Chain A
Amino acid sequence: MLTYGLVIAAYIILRILLAGGHVSSALQGQLVPITAYIVMAVSLNLTVGVLGELSLGHAGFMSVGAFTGVITSASLTSSVPEPALRLLFALIAGGIAAGLFGFLIGIPVLRLHGDYLAIVTLAFGEIIKNVVNTLYVGIGQSGLKIGMTSGNALNLGEGGKVILNGPMGAIGVQKISSFTAGFILILVTLFIILNLIDSRAGRAIMAVRDNKIAAESVGISVWRYRMTAFVTSAALAGAAGALYALNYSTVIARKFDFNTSILVLVFVVLGGMGNIRGSIIAATVLTILPEVLRAFNNVRMLIYAVILILVMLATNNVRLRAWFQRIRPGNGKTPVISGGGDGHE
């Protein structure tokens, strides 16, 4: 409950500040990407923290969702003029498409474990990036057309519009994302994930994570539960991708590369694996941090790197941990990877 409270309180405070005109353009412009990254982090936490598998290709699902969302929004421009409703359709379409990809990718991926699973997710992320870079999608009188050579080769005819133009990406995207939509998406994500963790399926997933053979021996169908978690994670990343993409007038496949996957992974690890609230805070802080460091000009990314290393060292420091445990008695027995259970006491 505290997690919901935190998000709702943050939203209300920001709304009040926004209404009073106290928020700088810099922060205002970051609100939507922050919400998208929060959803990314929380959804990746389902794979990494709860399922216990390292995924290095989460941005690939974001990419699928982003471009599906953009295409959906562009195709519905005339039939659904109301932006909020169109955004809803785009988010759902992005989520479904990414979920579908998650399922297809999950079939091979979930047969593997550990670093081998990680490298296959990385591989899928790179494949998605490479393929989207060669995709041309346009909308003309005869509906949606897809090609792989060039925008002109689509033969869209009069009034046709190229939506996705290979490496030039999607251009002329109507910006329909909003902070409120992002906020609602976070709540939906929290609702889905916290319920999943708390459900029978969630307990099964964690049982599988902690001891696969023992879980199997008591009759838990490993594959089904792993797949449920993986597809949910992918679908939410897809919705986040659609939200992110529809916040800018252009989006390219290269944005969703290995570095973005890693960035989201950093949010998850820094926030604490399995700790949903931690993911939310880490995503927010680490998205704002490089902007705050702008005052340092050309050494800012260097400082960012140093902060990242120091935070990792500090949060894993044995003495510091012991100290925290002293001031917070009764919490000493928290396992290294907690099950996300402390997100809702």
Chain B
Amino acid sequence: MKKKSYSFLVIALMLCLALLTGITNPVSAADAEAPIKLGGIGPLSGAAAVYGIAVANGANIAVEEINALGGLQFELNFQDDEHDAEKSVNAYNVLKDWGMQVLVGTVTTTPGIAVSAESFADRIFTLTPSASSPQVVEGKDNVFQMCFTDPNQGIASAQYILDKELGTKVAIIYNNADAYSTGIYEKFATEAEEKGLEVVSTTTFTDETANDFSVQLTEAQNAGADLLFLPIYYQPASLILSQAKAMDYAPVVFGVDGMDGILTLENFDVSLAEGVMLLTPFVADATDDLTVAFVEKYQELYDEVPNQFAADGYDCVYAIYEALKDSDITAESTAEEACDYLVGVFTGEEFVFNGLTGDNMTWSETGEVAKSPKGMVIQDGVYVGMDAAEDSEND
């Protein structure tokens, strides 16, 4: 066994040296105007890769567009964190060695909480596209969110269901091993109780048991639920929809932003999602110029329809661009200078950002974004604004 240790020792030394000399540093672009270094962190491999890759792609498009404009230049270095706090902090440190001035990240919540604690201590401005727990920004003046917080989604969902009288008896199925899902559920449950919305069945699943939902659906059906609230991602939701149909159970289905993506799920029978309602900040088939151009470019480059994560990534880069373009922050500025400036702009009165994921976005001192969710309903395989759908029914 001893022989093994020696070969290891050699490899170990080589690896340590490689790390010390910084082999990981990518060569920076040799442009006339030195670019500002944007770091990005999210899962590019593992079970959550779909979200991280989307954010990275969206952010890349934004960087290319901005650089093509001339003037302020960006360079994006996006690192994988495998949806793991430890790997995320590693990625953050790699970016710090690279000379990151502003951080776009992280994509997911738990890594986000770990990394934002670091970037807060290091005074690096952080704008997360989609880490939606309030703990990501809580108590950190330089950390901001592009997405809604989970509790806000819970409150908004309960409000929407009450206001539009979508259902009287609510069943909830959520992922009790997932921070995002549980975060929305908890606030929704409290809000529903306060507002007098009757919840008749609450069941859960975990990633390990996200295949058979017969128990959860049967319980909901037996309890007489006429509305099914699904604060979960679209992959398990698609299974729930098809299993509900198989057992002839057809409640109103109400989802949150994680439900977005269900229509672009490859090979998915969209008729299963007919009538599904969801709150989402981004709709890929919206007809405004910005969305159309973005979706076209995204499809051309990546051969896929972008989801809200891609839009969040795109918006993050543009928000930073908007905030920086009239400043004297350059590639030579320290991260701290950029941070102080950006915090000032983001919390300033006059900073209003219009992006793919919302109009007239503003940020509070706490770092949370203020924008209005779009209530959508799926009709004939496309999203229709909930209000528009109502109008057309009234006609």
Is A in direct contact with B (CB under 8 Å) within the complex? yes
Binds A, one of B10-18, B155-163, B255-263, B305-313: B10-18
- Chain B nearest CB, measured from A250 CB (Å): 4
Task: Verify if B360 is at the interface (C-beta below 8 Å from A).
Answer: no
Q: How many A-B residue pairs have CB under 8 A?
A: 161
State the CA gap A270–B23 with chains docked (Å): 25
Give the secondary structure class of B's interface: helix
A24-B3 in contact (CB<8A):
no
Question: What is the 8 Å Cβ interface bit string for chain B, positions 57-99, against chain A (1 contact, 0 not)?
Answer: 0000000000000000000000110101111011111101100
Which residue in A17, A130, A281 is a CB contact (below 8 Å) of B5? A281
* A263: min CB distance to chain B, Å: 11
Within 8 A of B (CB), among A159-202: 166-169, 171-172, 175
B390 interface residue (CB < 8 Å to A): no
Identify the 6 closest CB pairs spanning chains A and B, nearest first.
Answer: A249-B117, A272-B1, A29-B93, A324-B3, A25-B93, A250-B113
Q: Using A172-B135, A254-B177 as known contacts, say yes or no to A26 and B19 having CB atoms under 8 A apart.
A: yes
State in angstroms the CA–CA spacing of A251 and B114 once bound together. 8
Kindly list chain B residues whose C-beta atoms are within 8 Å of the C-beta of A295.
Answer: 23-24, 26
Which chain B positions have C-beta within 8 A of A113? none
Q: How far is the CA of A238 from the CA of B79 in the complex (A)?
A: 31
Q: A22-B20, A166-B176, A249-B113 are in contact. Are A29 and B15 (CB under 8 A)?
A: no
Whether B110 sits at the interface, judged by CB under 8 Å, is: yes
Contact: B1 with A289, CB < 8 Å? no
Q: Quick check: B135 and A26 within 8 Å, CB to CB?
A: no
Q: Is A134 an interface residue (CB 8 A)?
A: yes
- Whether the pair A328, B3 counts as a contact (CB closer than 8 A) is yes
Q: Which residues of A are found within 8 Å of B22, using beta-carbon distances? A: 24
- Residues 113 to 160 of chain A near chain B (Cβ within 8 Å): 126, 130, 133-134, 150-152
Distance between B201 CB and nearest chain A CB, rounded to angstroms: 16
For A298, what are the chain B residues with a Cβ–Cβ distance below 8 Å? 44-45, 80
Where the two chains meet, the residues of A that have a C-beta atom closer than 8 Å to any C-beta of B are: 17, 22-30, 33, 126, 130, 133-134, 150-152, 166-169, 171-172, 175, 248-255, 270-275, 277-278, 281-282, 284-285, 288-292, 294-295, 298, 300-301, 315, 321, 324-325, 328, 331, 334, 338, 342
Residue contact A292 to B90, C-beta cutoff 8 Å: no
**When chains A and B are docked, how far (Å) is the Cα of A292 from the Cα of B4?**
21
A270 to B11, CA, bound (A): 13
* Chain A residues positioned under 8 Å from B117 (CB to CB): 175, 248-250
Which chain B residue has the least Cβ–Cβ distance from A302?
B45
Which of B178-186, B370-378, B381-389 lies at the interface?
B178-186
Chain A to chain B contacts (Cβ below 8 Å), 22 pairs: A22-B20, A24-B93, A24-B97, A25-B93, A26-B97, A29-B90, A126-B208, A134-B176, A166-B176, A167-B181, A168-B179, A169-B110, A250-B135, A272-B4, A272-B5, A277-B5, A282-B8, A289-B15, A292-B15, A298-B45, A321-B3, A328-B2
A285/B15 contact (C-beta < 8 A), A168-B135, A250-B110 known: yes
Not counting A25-B97, A272-B4, a sample of 11 additional A-B residue pairs whose C-beta atoms are within 8 angstroms of each other reads A26-B24, A168-B110, A168-B179, A249-B114, A255-B86, A275-B5, A278-B8, A284-B12, A285-B8, A289-B15, A292-B19
Contacts of A254 in B (CB 8 A): 177
- Is A271 touching B114 in the complex (CB atoms < 8 A)? no
The answer to whether B9 has its CB under 8 Å from any CB of chain A is yes
Q: Given A168-B179, A274-B1, decide whether A25 and B96 contact each other with a Cβ distance below 8 A.
A: yes
Contact B84 A24, beta carbon cutoff 8 Å: no
CB distance from A99 to the nearest CB of B (A): 24
Contact of A255 among B84, B109, B113, B178 (CB under 8 A): B84
Interface size class of B (residues with CB under 8 A): 35 or more
Which of A26, A151, A292 interacts with B186 by CB under 8 Å? A151
Docked pose: A23 CA to B15 CA in angstroms: 13
B176 x A29 contact (CB < 8 A): no
Interface residues of B in 107-158 (CB under 8 A from A): 109-110, 113-114, 117-118, 133, 135
Residue in B closest to A315 when the chains form the complex, CB atoms: B4
CB of A248 within 8 A of CB of B85, answer yes
A301-B45 in contact (CB<8A):
yes
Question: Which residues in A have their C-beta under 8 angstroms from that of B208?
Answer: 126
Q: With contacts A133-B176, A295-B23 known, is A331 near B90, CB below 8 A?
A: no
Which among B2, B18, B135 has the highest number of chain A CB atoms within 10 Å?
A: B2
- Say whether A278 contacts B5, CB under 8 Å: yes
Return chain A residues, CB-CB under 8 Å to B45: 298, 300-301
Task: Quote the shortest CB–CB distance from B324 to chain A (angstroms).
Answer: 24
A256 and B302 CA atoms in complex are apart in Å by 34
Q: Is the CB of B85 within 8 A of A250?
A: yes
Q: Does B190 contact A (CB under 8 A)?
A: yes
Q: Assess whether A331 is in contact with B2, with CB atoms less than 8 Å apart.
A: yes
Contact assessment for B20 and A251 in the assembled complex, using a CB-CB cutoff below 8 Å: no
Set of chain B residues within 8 Å of A167, measured between Cβ atoms: 175-179, 181-182
Q: Is the CB of A168 within 8 A of B183?
A: yes
Residues of B within 8 A of A282 (CB): 8
CA–CA, A248 and B186, complex, Å: 25
- A248 and B89 within 8 A (CB): yes
**B206 in contact (CB, < 8 A):** yes
- In the complex, the answer to whether A248 meets B114 with C-beta atoms within 8 Å is yes
Query: For the complex, what is the distance from the CA of A249 to the CA of B80, rounded to whole Å?
Result: 19
Contact across chains for A291 and B3 when beta carbons are under 8 A apart: no
Chain A minimum-CB-distance residue to B87 = A290
For B189, what are the chain A residues with a Cβ–Cβ distance below 8 Å? Answer: 150
- List chain A residues, Cβ under 8 A from B190: 152
CB nearest neighbor in B for A130: B206
Residue of B nearest to A174 (CB): B117
Alpha-carbon distance A321/B3, docked complex (angstroms)? 8
With a cutoff of 8 Å between Cβ atoms, the chain B residues found around residue A26 in the complex are 19, 24, 90, 93-94, 96-97
Inter-chain contacts of A24 with B (CB < 8 A): 19-20, 22, 93, 97
Complex alpha-carbon distance, A211 and B390, angstroms: 77
Q: Are A252 and B110 in contact (CB under 8 A)?
A: yes
Q: Which residue of B lies closest to A273 (CB)?
A: B1
Asked if residues B16 and A288 are in contact (CB atoms below 8 Å), the reply is: yes
Closest to A331 in B: B2
A133–B206 contact, CB under 8 A?
yes
Q: Which residues of B contact A250 (CB under 8 A)?
A: 85, 110, 113-114, 117, 135
* Distance, CA A315 to CA B135, complexed state (A): 46
Contact B44 A166 (CB under 8 A): no
Min CB distance B254 to A, Å, is 21
Q: A291-B94, A321-B3 are in contact. Are A255 and B206 (CB under 8 A)?
A: no
What distance in Å separates the Cβ of B345 from its nearest Cβ neighbour in chain A? 26
With known contacts A25-B93, A26-B93, A294–B176 Cβ distance under 8 A: no
Q: Which residues of the partner chain A approach B91 to less than 8 Å between Cβ atoms?
A: 294
Of chain A, the residue at the smallest CB distance from B150 is A168
